[in-house]
Structure 1
Amino acid sequence: MKLIFFANTDWYLYNFCVSTAVRLRKDGHEVVMLSPPGPFGDRFAAHGFRWIQLSMDRASLNPLREAATLSRLVAILRKEQPDLLHNYTMKCVVYGALTARIARVPAVVNAVAGMGYVFTSDALKARMLRPLVKTLMRMTLNDHRSLLILQNPDDVMAFTDADLILPDRIRLIRGTGVDTMVFQPAVPPLHRDGRLRVLLAARLLWEKGIQEFADAAALLRQWGHDVECLLAGSPDPGNPHSVPQEQVRQWVDQGLIRWLGHVDDMPGLLNTVHVMVLPSYYREGVPKSLLEGAASGLALITTDRPGCREVVSKDGVDGLHAEAQSALSLAKCIARLDGDRGLLEQLSVRARQKVLREFDERAVIQKTIDVYGELTAPYADASASRSTS
């Protein structure tokens, strides 16, 4: 079987889809990566995957430009003739599902991790796009040859309540999982009596709680806590809510945070910190950074928001909940762990246990492959029947 993975950035494909592609190749299938140009695309070759570049502006509203993008995508699908197209991220889901019909792709899997900018922002542009996107989703998502993967029950309810898709076309798979063999607690364990090191690892979007993290660092300093606050991630120029690099450098100059930029060796970095925070007020799928932190045996602090609550479900049990958009609440959570190293240890152990129990990558990948099987088995059976007749 030949599959195409389509996303709006090569970064997304590289960080969230390579493990599934490797498993599929081991099973004898061909996987092709498809995305706009970017700095991560050349890395696919090192894993043995072909990469097709599609010129696409994530933020464009120009009808002529978008029509040209759709035309190029149809041409690629007709040339490649995949047995299954897996679309990731909102715009690619809409465009991929639409062009798959035109190109007669036999099976389509759509994956949406969180509701995204169009559905969560109150900006004029988002409000203008929302009715159009909803109409296109209703047109494309209910095809009998497609299924939609969502990552948390809140998104399932949001999609069905908005009548975007019939419930029987949805499959719930909680996140993309984490490789618990790669992300492991530090050996020997990181000393927990010294200076507390706290990490926020995310795309630099305001909704991820970047401002709240910097403000919490300022509060902790005022309160006399000797805490090192680290920020890993890069601005996302294609997103209207990206935090400007100049703002991040201002926080660095004020001594509030240490900015690491993009980090390739995340397992290594996570073995040098005690706490992973994600003060997100975004509608997440299931945040990868929280899963990686938990697998590495870090205590977690996040919000009780869709997606985040899948990882930290009970405050004080498998992590701490900070109030969304509250630097004060976030600072209090960090200060609590700084002052109670026993709780820090308990939450670290429980986080690792929960990931092993519920979010191991191998189980998540198998669930995804099972979804592929739901769609491709009828065509495989029909093909076999024709070949023997």
Structure 2
Amino acid sequence: MKFVFFANTDWYLYNFRLSTALRLRRDGHEVVMLSPPGPFGERFAAHGLRWVPLPMNRASLNPLREAATLYHLVAVLRQEQPDLLHNFTVKCAVYGAFAARFARIPAVVNAVAGMGYVFTSDKPKARMLRPLVKTLMRATLGSERSLLVLQNPDDATTFAHAGLIPPERIRVILSSGVNTNRFQPAKHSPEHRHERLRVLLAARLLWEKGIQEFVDAAALVQRWGRDVEFVLAGTPDPGNPHSVSAEQVRKWVDAGLVRWLGHVDDMPGLLSTVHVMALPSYYREGVPKSLIEGAASGLALITTDRPGCREVVTKHGFDGLRVEVRNARALAKCIVQLDEDRELLAQLGLRARQKALRDFDERIVIQKTVDVYRELLSPMTVHAPALRSTL
């Protein structure tokens, strides 16, 4: 059986969906990765996966350019003729579902992690696009041969109540999963608990991720005379209008507020050197990857009571700490609390690890994803029946 995974960046496919593709490949299926060109595309070959670059600009609003993208997408799908197309992000879900009809792809899974810029921003551009995107989603996502996968119950309720898709076509799978064998609590000497506290924010550098609040909290903690290191990992996202610029981050570094690492390949290695994962997000998250990686690594988590974030930190003071959105002072106070109470720091990290094992282990998430594939493919009786039994 053949699968195509379609996303708006090769980075997303490599960092979030490689494990699912490899599971399918081990089961004897063919998986093709499809995305715009990027630096991660060539890495798939080392894993025995084929990657097809697609001419696509995810931030484009040019009608001619978008028509050309759809033309190329239909051509690729007609050539590949997968049994199932799995689309990721809102734009790819709409375009992929639309193209699949023309290419006569028998089954489509659309995965949307969070509501994205169009639904969360109050900018005029986002407000202008919102009715159009809603119309396109209603027209493309409700096919009887497709299912929509969302990462948290809040998004499922929002999609259903907005009439974007019939509720019976929605499935909820918490997060894209984390490799709990690769991400594990580091083994430290007893002196580690008395080290200088290191707090990490790892994310795309979007303002809605709470970047400004993180920096402002660093300034407050510094003003209060605490010796805490604030570490920022991630790069600007030129395709998103709400991206923080590299120039702005360098100003914070020059002011001595944060240490900026840029893109980090070895996230398990980095997480073994810090104590706290902070994500003061007011972005409409799916389930943030950085939080579940931090949880699997046994770090204390600080986040907000927002959709997606609350799926990881379910109760303040139990499996993490919650702060109000856009409240740098509350974030700073939580960080100082953990600096002073290292026993609480350890307890929160232990419970976060337990929750990661129970709810976010990628083996659980991948199996639930495969179950969605099986649900769509099981009525089919003509395409590779021998292989279908491995799903």
Same fold (TM over 0.5): yes
Residue 310 of structure 1: aligned partner:
311
CA-to-partner distance for each residue in 1:293-313, whole Å, 9 max, x for gaps? Answer: 010010000000000000001
CA contact (8 A) 2:83 2:383 kept: no
CA-to-partner distance for each residue in 1:226-262, whole Å, 9 max, x for gaps? Answer: 0000000000001100000000000000000000000
Q: Mean alpha-carbon deviation: is it higher for 250-259 or for 372-381?
A: 372-381
Is the aligned partner of 1:127 residue 2:127?
yes
Residue 333 of structure 1: aligned partner:
334
Q: 1:380, CA displacement in angstroms? A: 3.1
Residue 347 of structure 2: aligned partner:
346
Residue 246 of structure 2: aligned partner:
245
Is the aligned partner of 1:281 residue 2:282?
yes
Distance 1:152 1:65 in 2: 33
Residue 363 of structure 1: aligned partner:
364
Indicate how the Cα distance of structure 1 residues 366 and 383 shifts in structure 2: closer, same or farther if over 3 A, else same: closer
Distance 1:325 1:118 in 2: 20
- Structure 2 residue identity aligned to 1:51: W
Q: 1:277, CA displacement in angstroms? A: 0.4
The two structures have a TM-score, normalised by structure 2, of 0.97
Q: How does 1:51-200 map to 2 (within 5 A)?
A: 51-188=51-188, 191-200=192-201
Q: 1:379, CA displacement in angstroms? A: 1.1
Indicate how the Cα distance of structure 1 residues 144 and 184 shifts in structure 2: closer, same or farther if over 3 A, else same: same
Distance 2:231 2:269 in 1: 14
CA-to-partner distance for each residue in 1:98-156, whole Å, 9 max, x for gaps? Answer: 00011100000000000000100011111111111101110111100000000000000
Q: 1:189, CA displacement in angstroms? A: 5.4
Residue 225 of structure 1: aligned partner:
226
Is the aligned partner of 1:375 residue 2:366?
no
Indicate how the Cα distance of structure 1 residues 382 and 2 shifts in structure 2: closer, same or farther if over 3 A, else same: closer
Q: 1:381, CA displacement in angstroms? A: 6.3
Residue 290 of structure 1: aligned partner:
291
- Structure 1 residue identity aligned to 2:105: V
- Structure 2 residue identity aligned to 1:293: G
- Structure 1 residue identity aligned to 2:275: H
Distance 1:30 1:316 in 2: 45
- Structure 2 residue identity aligned to 1:101: R
Distance 2:216 2:17 in 1: 34
Secondary structure, aligned partner of 1:311: coil
Q: 1:188, CA displacement in angstroms? A: 3.1
CA contact (8 A) 2:185 2:297 kept: yes
Secondary structure, aligned partner of 1:4: strand
Q: 1:338, CA displacement in angstroms? A: 0.6
Secondary structure, aligned partner of 2:286: coil
- Structure 2 residue identity aligned to 1:143: S
Indicate how the Cα distance of structure 1 residues 155 and 186 shifts in structure 2: closer, same or farther if over 3 A, else same: same
Residue 21 of structure 1: aligned partner:
21
Residue 10 of structure 1: aligned partner:
10
Residue 264 of structure 2: aligned partner:
263
Q: 1:46, CA displacement in angstroms? A: 1.1
Distance 1:380 1:93 in 2: 26
Distance 1:384 1:317 in 2: 48
Q: Mean alpha-carbon deviation: is it higher for 250-259 or for 124-133?
A: 124-133
Distance 1:256 1:334 in 2: 15
CA-to-partner distance for each residue in 1:314-335, whole Å, 9 max, x for gaps? Answer: 0000000011111111111111
CA-to-partner distance for each residue in 1:64-89, whole Å, 9 max, x for gaps? Answer: 11111100100000001011000001
Identity %: 75
Indicate how the Cα distance of structure 1 residues 372 and 189 shifts in structure 2: closer, same or farther if over 3 A, else same: farther
Distance 1:177 1:189 in 2: 29
Structure 2: which 5+ runs fail to align? 387-391
Residue 235 of structure 2: aligned partner:
234
Q: 1:16, CA displacement in angstroms? A: 0.5
Structure 1: 4+ residue segments shifted above 6 A: none
Distance 1:382 1:82 in 2: 10
Q: 1:42, CA displacement in angstroms? A: 1.1
Secondary structure, aligned partner of 2:333: helix
- Structure 1 residue identity aligned to 2:323: A
Secondary structure, aligned partner of 1:3: strand
Distance 1:306 1:328 in 2: 22
Distance 1:383 1:256 in 2: 57
Distance 2:195 2:201 in 1: 19
Distance 2:33 2:87 in 1: 11
Secondary structure, aligned partner of 1:308: coil
Distance 1:268 1:131 in 2: 44
- Structure 1 residue identity aligned to 2:184: Q
Q: Mean alpha-carbon deviation: is it higher for 205-214 or for 184-193?
A: 184-193
CA contact (8 A) 2:2 2:30 kept: yes
